[in-house]
């Protein structure tokens, strides 16, 4: 590299160019830097050259030594085979050969030498093992480990047809067996420690990978566990799979056993199953004879998954396979688990169930659970096993859900949480499992054995609620506050706290809601069940006193969640949220945003189930009070009519409609106030959400004001201010009020009222197709929240817009015009008489219950044919017109019928049957509690109708006449009978009526009220008439005043009237016998008494259009009384004036 020319010292360089110019500073620095770089580069090149030379020399020397040792090994092997001086039957010689082989071994060159060595080691195993008892024991143990690891590597090439796997497998069998070591070493514990170290080393070097490849290549794909005795290699492979799992590995480094189970899990269970694994290995391990260490495996699996949780996504590709194995093997070993093992099992279920992909079958599970007349005719569609032999994730997922729903699994889990000593952790884990099943996998309670059993266990529900009530958190101030209180306040909650309480709260609300469906009122209220000779244990988990407190907590929780959904200030992602998200592997902002949205969705889902439970309890309280007065009102909310009704949007742009819960983000349950409406404030969003979901927390009077103001705002837009603007003029014969009104105000009419199509609510589209063909019309769409329908035929349907003013001209019984100009009063009289006629049971469209309450007659179709639905549509519009005009009509409707009008679903449950037919309801309760042989009653799945004297047998389900009612199916029979009587029999009637009602009044406005409140809204409250209130808001004209002698006599006479006579007087003047809902201050025009002149022969007359009483100057009290009573009882229409 450097030349030598004889110089032994350096000589100074002499420059003959003379003195150089002064060098610039920058040039000097650059030159110095470049020289330094060159020197460094030279040092680096020298160092690299030394490394390369060292490597080459080492490689050359190693290769040379490998060749020397390989030659020495071959000489010794030849000598031993030819009977020379070297004997293989010697422990030291075996050790020498193994040392040489391990030194030079290369798989592609020395495989045959390794096979030869295996043969001799197996033959002289006792001689070789003796070295473990001497000074060379560590060397010998290391050699055995290395030989076994090479054996594993060799078996990984099992697809090579030239390789005979029998010898390596025999090597594994011999040197991992206690029988090899124990006769020589005589120390059982020492032998176990040796085998543990060998197995642990093999596990670290691909032992289970080798077995996995060997099983899938050497066993036929058609093999099953039952073929074990006919396939010898299968038994050997199974033993090798199980062997490492049975040791404790106490002699190995800490965590060795966890590594063994982890390797087994990763190689055999965490990937899609092959046929050999699915049909042979898993059934073999699930057999009790194999003694699989199930409980240690569960603990190791849980630890493995906890270590992966920071990097795994919410759904894991490995979860279905692992979960299937856990459930399949658990079928055999669940009964052997200890108390702690059962808790570990619960943790494993909770972990994998949340990671399980959503099954296609479970996606449609909720839909199939909905009420359907054809439910019995449709077969359950379940994913089937693939025909090509490959196992798919959907199939395994569905199998997992099936196995989780077996009777054994259910009983094991139930026993764990039903006991009085059930721990908080067990209840929490069970709640999380139930929450995941219902929310993530969309399973419904009746379809899952576990959930169904829990729903009807009163003790479990009590434990669950008390656990929820006792859960606390520590606030920033250091104080300990119940989590229920935090929710009720609407305060933000940490991710840890929400993860604790949401599953518990969700499960409790869902299960209790489901149990309430089957708990009849007698059982709910603790009344004795009148079934002779029978005692029925109550399924009611709470007393009425406890329910009062519970319902208040649920109500406040709903209000608190609404506050959380619409916070006063923009929420920030707090530091503890960031830390919590990072702990589960969330690193990016998009992932964090997704997690936040998932958390919001969990709150929305919780809100829905709690709200449903609250509404069910409120419905019970409505049917029969168990809560104190004003219990459901909230002091936290102060919703006023003037603030809410400012959000009214004209119908030409959009009427109010509800946005139902269920979207990610804020609750979004507020009313949609138009396409171009300004954004709502937080307060407005909260108010509208409350009116949507929990209207009963607002006082009834305030909701009435809200409703009336909404109607008034809509009326102002449609009718305007002038009383004689565009409207509808009709002539009606008094003796044929219903016929003429139906003829002139129904959709078939071709009068020039302007084009207005029938509005059918969008949520009735599916039911509309069930109407008679004569009513099925082509559909046209609009931007309205309701779909528009028109009728077939030539031309466009002309339908009167009943929101407009209607002016009525009446003809008396003789065909003569009745006196008077309709300023509103004649119309009110006409509408009142029309509704009385239309809803009269003699008309045939409505029937009465035993209590005299109205509901649609199932026989209406037999009376008027296929046009019956048009009559119900017409009557619905007329009732809607009465509500629209703030007119009270005395029509007592059955509670179940009003519930069907108000509900988002057209169906009602069995609890309403008592209001329709108490006798049938009582008989069904008897059947439910009957302890004898149900088949002896001779019932089948049919009902008999006796309408108009004609008996008709109707099947409740397909082939129902051939299906006897038994103890097993009587609950289904009871619900089908109730469903038929309450829903199916009058479904088309109610849908048409509701459609007509919605044509005039927005149903969403009416849903602010329950069925009792709607009855009050229609007919007024059953309260005595307050004369003091009437006096306070009465006007006087024509010379009368409050101090006039005639007026004083009048009020003395009225004070002496009975309540019935007072109602007749009120009807005579205002056309309605009941006072306004909010008092006489709401009567418009105000009640007025006008001077009717001095002719004492005249009768008092009235102008109902002005709420005006024309009272002659009767100074005599007796005369005034007789004339007034004659006038109000005459009921001769408007001709008296």
Contact, 279 vs 225, CB < 8 A?
Answer: yes
CATH code of 727-908+984-1019, in short, is 3.90.1750.10
Element (H, E) at 1110: strand 1108-1111
pTM here is: 0.78
How many other CB atoms sit within 10 Å of the CB of residue 590? 9
How does DSSP assign 785-823, residue by residue? SEEEE--SSSS------TTSEEEEEEE-TTSPBPS---S
Element (H, E) at 825: helix 825-838
How does DSSP assign 41-106, residue by residue? HHHHHHHHHHHHHHHHHHHHHHHHHHHHHHHHHHHHHHHHHHT-S--SSSHHHHHHHHHHHHHH--
Cα distance from N-terminal residue to C-terminal residue, the chain: 137
pLDDT value, residue 729? 86
Among the listed residues 673, 656, 560, the one whose alpha carbon sits nearest the alpha carbon of residue 611? 560
pLDDT value, residue 587? 53
517 vs 911: CA distance, rounded Å: 8
356 vs 348: CA distance, rounded Å: 12
Phi, psi angles (nearest 5°) of residue 795: 85, 180
Long-range contacts, stretch 632-636, CB < 8 angstroms, 24+ apart: 632/551, 632/555, 632/696, 632/697, 633/696, 633/697, 633/698, 633/699, 634/555, 634/556, 634/559, 634/697, 636/556, 636/559
**Two tokens, residue 880:** 């809607």
Among the listed residues 700, 699, 786, 770, the one whose alpha carbon sits nearest the alpha carbon of residue 997? 786
627 vs 548: CA distance, rounded Å: 6
Strands annotated E in 668-825: 671-672, 727-733, 758-761, 779-780, 786-789, 805-811
Contact, 846 vs 900, CB < 8 A?
Answer: no
Burial string for 51-61 (b: 16+ CB within 10 Å, else e) reads: eeeeeeeeeee
Assign 579 to helix, strand or coil.
Answer: helix
**Two tokens, residue 1055:** 């004070």
How many other CB atoms sit within 10 Å of the CB of residue 996? 28
Pairing status of strand 657-658 against strand 671-672: antiparallel
Considering 140, 990, 1105, 1130, which one is annotated as catalytic? 1105
Among the listed residues 118, 115, 132, 120, the one whose alpha carbon sits nearest the alpha carbon of residue 89? 120
Phi, psi angles (nearest 5°) of residue 309: -60, -25
Q: What is the mean pLDDT of each run of 10 residues along the chain (1137 residues)?
A: 59 60 78 92 94 91 90 89 79 89 90 91 90 87 93 84 83 92 90 94 93 91 84 90 93 92 92 90 90 94 82 68 94 90 93 84 48 38 49 89 90 84 85 91 89 89 92 88 92 88 93 88 70 55 92 94 80 53 55 72 90 92 89 83 60 38 38 50 84 90 90 84 70 87 73 37 38 34 32 44 84 74 72 90 91 91 86 94 88 90 76 84 86 86 81 87 88 89 91 93 91 90 86 92 92 91 87 82 86 88 82 91 89 46
In sign, the C-alpha dihedral spanning 468, 474, 475, 478 is positive
Among the listed residues 921, 901, 935, the one whose alpha carbon sits nearest the alpha carbon of residue 978? 921
Judge: domain 912-982, CATH 1.20.810.10: no
DSSP-assigned beta bridge partners for residue 950: 947
114 vs 152: CA distance, rounded Å: 12
Pairing status of strand 1087-1091 against strand 1034-1037: parallel
In sign, the C-alpha dihedral spanning 891, 894, 898, 901 is negative
For the chain, how many residues are written?
A: 1137
No. of helices (H) and no. of strands (E), the chain: 48, 17
Q: Where do the domains of the chain lie?
A: 456-623, 641-707, 727-908+984-1019, 912-982, 1027-1130
Phi, psi angles (nearest 5°) of residue 940: -135, 180
1105 is catalytic: yes
What top-level class would CATH report for the domain 1027-1130? alpha beta
């Amino acid at each position: 590299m450097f030349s030598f020319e004889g110089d032994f010292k350096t000589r100074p360089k002499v420059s003959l160019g003379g003195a150089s110019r002064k060098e610039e500073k920058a040039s000097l620095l650059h030159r110095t830097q470049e020289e330094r770089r060159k020197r460094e580069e030279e040092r680096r090149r020298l160092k690299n050259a030394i490394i390369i030379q060292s490597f080459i020399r080492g490689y050359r020397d190693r290769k040379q030594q490998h060749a020397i040792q390989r030659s020495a090994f071959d000489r010794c092997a030849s000598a031993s085979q030819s009977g020379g001086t070297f004997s293989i039957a010697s422990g030291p010689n075996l050790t020498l050969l193994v040392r040489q082989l391990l030194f030079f071994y290369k798989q592609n060159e020395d495989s045959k030498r390794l096979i030869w060595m295996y043969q001799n080691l197996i033959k002289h195993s006792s001689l070789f093992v003796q070295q473990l008892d001497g000074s060379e024991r560590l060397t010998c143990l290391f050699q055995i480990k290395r030989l076994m690891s090479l054996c594993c590597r060799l078996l990984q090439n099992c697809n090579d047809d030239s390789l005979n796997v029998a010898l390596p497998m025999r090597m594994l069998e011999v040197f991992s067996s206690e029988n090899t070591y124990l006769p020589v070493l005589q120390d059982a514990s020492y032998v176990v420690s040796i085998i543990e170290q060998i197995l642990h080393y093999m596990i670290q070097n691909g032992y289970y990978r080798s077995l996995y490849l060997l099983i899938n290549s050497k066993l036929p794909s058609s093999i099953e566990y039952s073929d074990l005795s006919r396939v010898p290699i299968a038994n050997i492979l199974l033993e090798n799979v199980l062997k490492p799992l049975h040791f404790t590995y106490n002699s190995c480094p800490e965590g060795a056993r966890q590594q063994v189970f982890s390797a087994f899990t990763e190689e055999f269970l965490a990937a899609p199953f092959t046929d050999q694994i699915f049909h042979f290995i898993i059934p073999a391990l699930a057999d009790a004879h194999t003694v699989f260490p199930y409980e240690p495996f569960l603990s190791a699996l849980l630890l493995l998954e906890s270590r992966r949780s920071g990097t795994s996504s919410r759904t894991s590709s490995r979860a279905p396979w692992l979960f299937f194995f856990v459930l399949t093997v658990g079928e055999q070993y669940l009964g052997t688990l200890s108390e702690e093992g059962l808790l570990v099992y619960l943790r494993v279920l909770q972990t994998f169930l949340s990671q399980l992909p959503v099954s296609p079958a479970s996606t449609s599970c909720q839909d199939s659970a909905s009420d359907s007349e054809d439910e019995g005719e449709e077969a359950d569609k379940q994913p089937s096993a693939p025909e090509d032999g490959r196992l798919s994730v959907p199939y395994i997922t569905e199998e997992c859900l099936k196995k989780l729903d077996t009777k054994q699994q259910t009983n094991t889990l139930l026993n764990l949480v039903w006991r009085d000593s059930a721990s908080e952790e067990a209840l929490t884990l069970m709640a999380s499992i139930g929450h995941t099943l219902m929310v993530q996998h969309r399973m419904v309670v009746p379809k899952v054995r576990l959930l169904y059993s829990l729903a009807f266990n009163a003790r479990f529900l009590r434990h669950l609620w008390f656990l929820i009530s006792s859960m606390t958190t520590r606030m920033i101030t250091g104080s300990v506050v119940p989590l229920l209180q935090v929710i009720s306040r609407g305060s933000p909650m940490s991710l840890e706290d929400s993860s604790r309480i949401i599953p518990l709260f969700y499960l409790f609300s869902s299960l209790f809601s489901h149990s309430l469906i089957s708990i009849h009122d007698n059982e709910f209220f603790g009344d004795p069940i009148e079934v002779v000779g029978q005692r029925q244990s109550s399924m009611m988990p709470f007393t009425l006193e406890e329910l009062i407190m519970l319902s208040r907590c649920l109500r406040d929780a709903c209000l608190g969640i609404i506050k959380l959904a619409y916070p006063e200030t923009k929420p920030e992602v707090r530091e503890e949220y960031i830390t919590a998200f990072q702990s589960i592997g969330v690193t990016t902002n998009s992932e964090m945003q997704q997690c936040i949205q998932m958390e919001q969705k969990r709150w929305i889902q919780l809100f829905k189930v709690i709200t449903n439970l609250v509404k069910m309890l409120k419905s019970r309280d409505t049917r029969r009070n168990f809560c104190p007065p004003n219990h459901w009102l909230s002091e936290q909310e102060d919703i006023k009519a003037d603030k809410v009704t400012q959000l009214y949007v004209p119908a030409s742009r959009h009427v109010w409609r509800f946005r139902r819960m269920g979207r990610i983000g804020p609750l979004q349950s507020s009313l949609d106030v138009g396409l171009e409406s300004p954004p709502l404030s937080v307060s407005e969003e909260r108010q509208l959400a409350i009116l949507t979901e929990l209207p009963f927390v607002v006082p009834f009077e305030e909701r009435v004001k809200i409703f009336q103001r909404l109607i008034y705002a809509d009326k102002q837009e449609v009718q305007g201010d002038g009383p004689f603007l565009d409207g509808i003029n009709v002539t009606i014969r008094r003796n044929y009020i219903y016929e003429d009104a139906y003829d002139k105000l129904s959709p078939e009419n071709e009068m020039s009222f302007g084009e207005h199509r029938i509005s059918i609510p969008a949520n009735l589209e599916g039911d509309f197709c069930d109407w008679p063909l004569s009513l099925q019309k082509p559909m046209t769409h609009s931007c309205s929240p309701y779909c528009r329908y028109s009728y077939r035929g030539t031309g466009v349907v002309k339908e009167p817009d009943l929101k407009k003013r209607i002016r009525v001209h009446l003809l008396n019984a003789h065909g003569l015009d009745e006196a008077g100009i309709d300023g509103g009063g004649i119309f009110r009289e006409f509408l009142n008489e029309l509704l009385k006629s239309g809803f009269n049971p003699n008309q045939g469209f409505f029937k009465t219950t035993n209590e005299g309450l109205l509901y649609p007659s199932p026989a209406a179709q037999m009376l008027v044919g296929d046009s019956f639905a048009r009559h119900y549509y017409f009557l619905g519009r007329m009732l809607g017109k009465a509500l629209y005009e703030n007119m009270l009509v005395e029509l007592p409707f059955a509670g179940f019928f009003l519930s069907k009008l108000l509900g988002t679903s057209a169906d009602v449950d069995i609890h309403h049957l008592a209001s329709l037919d108490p006798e049938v309801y009582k008989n069904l309760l008897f059947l439910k509690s009957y302890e004898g042989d149900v088949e002896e009653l001779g019932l089948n799945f049919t009902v008999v109708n006796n309408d108009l004297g004609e008996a008709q047998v109707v099947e409740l389900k397909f082939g129902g006449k051939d299906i006897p009612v038994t103890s097993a199916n009587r609950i289904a029979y009871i619900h089908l009978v109730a469903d038929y009587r309450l829903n199916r029999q009058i479904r088309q009637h109610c849908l048409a009526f509701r459609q007509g009602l919605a044509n005039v009044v927005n149903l969403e406005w009416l849903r602010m009220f329950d069925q009792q409140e709607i009855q009050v809204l229609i007919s007024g409250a059953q309260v005595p008439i307050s004369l003091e209130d009437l006096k306070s808001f009465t006007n006087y004209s024509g010379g009368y005043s409050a101090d006039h002698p005639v007026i004083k006599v009048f009020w003395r006479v009225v004070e002496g009237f009975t309540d019935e006579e007072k109602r007749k007087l009120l009807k005579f003047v205002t056309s309605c016998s009941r006072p306004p809902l909010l008092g006489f201050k709401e009567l418009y025009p105000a009640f007025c008494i006008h001077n009717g002149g001095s002719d004492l022969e005249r009768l008092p007359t009235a102008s109902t259009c002005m709420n005006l009483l024309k009272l002659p100057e009767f100074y005599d009290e007796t005369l005034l009384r007789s004339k007034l009573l004659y006038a109000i009882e005459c009921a001769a229409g408007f001709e008296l004036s």
